[in-house]
Amino acid sequence: MKISARNQLRGTVESVDLGVVTAKVSVRVGENLIESVITKQSVEELNIKVGSKVTAVIKSTEVMLMID
């Protein structure tokens, strides 16, 4: 599959918290944890489970940075 988004981060699903309509999926990318809220139906259709290899695709017009 080809996609225009350049920010693609490969990782492993660490947790899937299913709600009634949505699901929160946590993906480990190196030392970082990325969380995504997607539909429960998408989780089921893509068969996303703990341990699944996924690619987080980030397409945004705004990225905030912070330093300590």
What's the CATH number for 7-57? 2.40.50.100
CB atoms within 10 A of CB 61: 4
- Of residues 23 and 4, the one with the higher pLDDT is 23
Q: Read off the pTM.
A: 0.85
pLDDT for 45:
97
What pLDDT score does 40 carry?
97
How many degrees, rounded to 5, is the angle at CA 9 between CA 68 and CA 36?
75
- Any idea of the CA torsion for 37, 39, 45, 47, to the nearest 10 degrees? 30
23 token code pair = 């699901």
The string of pLDDT tens digits covering residues 13-68 is 999 999 999 999 999 999 999 999 999 999 999 999 999 999 999 887 777 777 88
Contact 56, 29 (CB under 8 A): yes
